[in-house]
Amino acid sequence: MSYQSTLIIVMIVYMVLLLGYGLYQGRKVKNASDFAIAGRKLPGWVAALSERATGESSWALLGLPGAAYATGLMEVWTAIGCVMGIIVAWVFLAHRLRKEAAHYEADTFIDYIAKRHGDAGKWIRIVGSTTIVFFFFFYVGAQFLGGGKTLNTLFGIERHWAMLLVVFLVIPYTIYGGFRSVTYTDVIQAILMIITLIAAPIVGILYMSEMPEGSIYASSVWEALEKAGPSYNTMTGGAILQEDSALAGTLNNVFSNGGEIVKGIGAGVIIAGAFSWFFGYLGGQPQLTTRFMAIKDAKQAKIARNIGVIWTLVVYTGALFIGWMGIALFGPTGLADQETVMPRVLTTLFNPVIAGILITGVLAAVISTANSLLILSATELSENIVKPLQKTSSDAQSLFRSRVLTALLAIIALGVAYVLPSKLIYSIVGYVWAGIGSTFSVVILLTLFWKRFHGKAALLSMIVGLVFTITWISTGMDQIITSRLMTFIVVLITAVASTYWLKSTANNRVV
């Protein structure tokens, strides 16, 4: 049997079992609350593994290794920002959000913010849900794109058809079982992801040390980084050393003496841009925050925190190492598409059965995030925009509405994936991290920790975050200073200023 045939069989078996398990869990969904947030009864280990599988997606298995392959050690700053953000979220925010969601009986991310700020609840629901749905079209599209890249690399399937296949893998149990099916299948995905990111680096080290000299680019990661030059072996990154880069050109126009000033400021800006992923994890990603909200009780929240932090440290270390290992195996210019480094490394290191299982981890990551985003978007749209327009709505009607909207949004997101302006998952996810993550992180942080913060300020912050992100990116300013950082700063200033300038129409928040 050929290598590709074995891969296909392994992946088909895995996907069939996953689909069956998702449908099995979906039998327990009886109402819209079950569909949206699993009745807020998730065990800690399920919540943690689901949150991590959802948070990392094709980002950790395709985007981050691809960026590490393309930029070398500089990508450490991105990993540091992400890991610190995740740890802060689990240690300081998760238990508070669980408690708040239970107190306000909130079933969705925006439902919580709206109930917490009753003075502007109606408009918070409309603006917040619309913003999430808008940006998540691109985020879901990025997951479909990631799955398409993986299948195209492995089997030569034309990318558009490959993306369509990924959609068929995601839709059935997502529509049927909602949040419950998604979270429990995420557990399987998370386990497979961490196995992949532990096994590949270990086997890779042994493989590279045993290869004859000259048969691969380098016999170790560190040798590969040194051989690739300063663009790869410094944590300031080669981009700032390129005098013709957009950033260097801009800084030279500002500072006439250029030289070391350009390099120094450029280094700071680039490092800050890489680290800026930190801000999106501070409660601002609804698909992650909903997992915090769904945890059963305080005891389970502590279990979830410990699992989430340990999983993160292991996975980010493995993802970076695989990217750098790709340089050693294929050379810095050996891959036409940097984000195919993960499947290429796995097919190089392992026999088809093991490679098939581990590569399925890449698709697992894609699926775990795509279905979570679809559920979140559908429930936000259903509960906060469509439901208020209906005079009456039974549990059965609400559940049916959520399922229909999930299917509809999946079709639209697939269409968006076909026309995405960027072909890099890293870039697409970065845009969403700014428009959603950086904006809502400010809103969540101030909601939790500043009693004076009110609904009108929250509403204005959402609007400013949406408009600013779109404007900053569309004008090309994101190429100079990342929108992830700038959106957070601008929204934070807006939130604080408007809290003092705008008078709340409610003396107390709704309880």
DSSP states of 333-347: TS-SSGGGHHHHHHH
Across 39-64, average pLDDT: 88
Supply the pLDDT for residue 19.
84
Residue 1 pLDDT class (50, 70, 90 cuts): low
- For 233-237, 319-323, 403-407, which range has the lowest pLDDT when averaged over its residues? 233-237
Instruction: Give the three-state DSSP class for 295.
Output: strand
Q: Where along the chain do its domains lie?
A: 3-501
Residue 243 pLDDT class (50, 70, 90 cuts): very low
Across 305-320, average pLDDT: 96
Q: What CATH number labels 3-501?
A: 1.20.1730.10
**Distance of alpha carbon 89 from its chain centroid, rounded?**
14
Supply the pLDDT for residue 424.
59
| In 277-424, alpha helices (H) | 277-280, 286-294, 298-330, 341-349, 352-381, 395-418
- Who contacts 449 (Cβ-Cβ below 8 Å, separation ≥6)? none
15 pLDDT exceeds 90? Answer: no
pTM: 0.85
Residue 267 pLDDT class (50, 70, 90 cuts): low
- The tokens describing 133, both together, are 């749905």
- The tokens describing 90, both together, are 């689990």
The rounded mean pLDDT for the chain is 85
Across 429-440, average pLDDT: 85
Identify the top-confidence range among 179-188, 228-237, 246-255. 179-188
136-181: per-residue pLDDT in tens?
877 787 778 777 777 887 778 887 888 888 888 778 888 888 899 8
Count the alpha carbons within 13 Å of 479 in the hemisphere toward its beta carbon: 10
314-332: per-residue pLDDT in tens?
999 999 999 999 999 999 9
- Bridge partners, 295 (sequence order): 42
CA dist 494 and 506 (Å) reads 20
| Contact present, 12 and 155 (Cβ < 8 Å) | no
| % of the chain with per-residue pLDDT over 90 | 44
Across 482-494, average pLDDT: 94
- For 51-55, 189-193, 363-367, which range has the lowest pLDDT when averaged over its residues? 363-367
